[in-house]
Amino acid sequence: MKELNWETDLEWFFLRFWEAYPKERRMEKLKTRAEFERVIKKRLATPEQLIEGAERYADYCRATDRDPHWIVYPARWLKYGRWSDDYRAELDRTHPALRGIAEARTH
């Protein structure tokens, strides 16, 4: 298998991000795609960091049974750098009994 390159394989990375994001708010795909590309091109994050962040956010939303109304739209999530949020700390603060779920993603 060839090594992936963010410049030539951007669509592949974006689709992985899209699939990782909480399905209840997968909306505004074109806007999200543009924001994903902006973040990558400005080197604010790698595609892998965005995908892993989306996975952590989806885990957090599932673990806390988050009302879909309160799940951030993906373009906005990208715009405000939410991939770097510490969802484990948020779980500790709001749902201490669920900490193990968030920790599983980091090991």
Give 7-48 pLDDT, tens digit per residue. 678 999 999 999 999 999 999 999 999 999 999 999 999 999
The answer to whether residues 56 and 102 touch, using CB atoms and an 8 Å cutoff, is yes
Question: DSSP state, 9?
Answer: S
Residue in 12, 58, 59 with CA at minimum distance from that of residue 36: 12
Q: What pLDDT score was predicted for residue 65?
A: 87
Q: Please, which pLDDT band fits residue 88 given cuts at 50, 70 and 90?
A: confident
Q: What pLDDT score was predicted for residue 29?
A: 97
The answer to whether residues 99 and 88 touch, using CB atoms and an 8 Å cutoff, is yes
Single-letter residue type at 44: L
Q: How far apart are CA 81 and CA 74, in angstroms?
A: 11
Mean of pLDDT values over 64-74: 92
